[in-house]
Chains A and B, each alone.
Chain A
């Protein structure tokens, strides 16, 4: 079945970087975008950006420009999201979500990766 399996929880110190992975299975990885969405505890959802696994093209929300990098390894059908210069406000659950183009929607989500930023 179609699924996105994310890496495990991370604990980081302020100023560090974190890299979260998202492994796709059950479909052709390069045929769908991967989006990243985060959610702080008890808060709403925040879209961070997207990546086209075929071309490697990316688009980031301005809020994260300069701090986020989305990459992929097509040989293992895995997308990555790296966030640098971490601060306490980055403590959240980070989700990857498949972006279908026809029709456009985020239709399959990973279970989420908890990132805690604490000194």
Chain B
């Protein structure tokens, strides 16, 4: 199975901060990577697919980059609604696998 490793596990930040989350794959996944936001008690919400494509309706402060084994999710200016847990997910090979999550907390 392809292992996905996110860092950091927890991130403390303030409103207005630029935030970057990293996701590393144990082998190349080309650009088959998605990012999700999840809030407590809710289903995941797709933010980014194919590493850098913004899902319709998602604010432009979210962006993704990378290919191969190294990927990043950037929030350009953190908003109050962005405090949540973020997951990366590869869909290059079966089984599709997720990172362990990064919790973005209020500083």
Task: List A residues at the B interface (Cβ < 8 Å).
Answer: 35, 37, 44-47, 49, 59, 61-63, 95, 97, 103-107, 109-112
Contact = CB atoms under 8 A, between A and B. Distances in A.
Interface of B: 32, 34, 36, 42-46, 49-50, 53, 55, 87, 89, 91, 94-101
A103 B49 contact: yes
B51 to A, nearest CB: 11
Contacts of A59: 94
B50 A47 contact: no
Contacts of A49: 95
- Does more than half of chain A's interface fall in helix, strand or loop, or is it mixed? strand
Nearest to B4: A44
Nearest to A61: B95
Given A44-B98, A47-B97, A105 B45 contact: no
A111 B43 CA distance: 5
B96 A47 contact: yes
A47 B89 CA distance: 10
A45 B32 contact: no
Given A105-B49, A109-B45, A111-B43, A47 B98 contact: yes
Given A44-B87, A103-B50, A105-B49, A110 B43 contact: yes
A110 B43 CA distance: 7
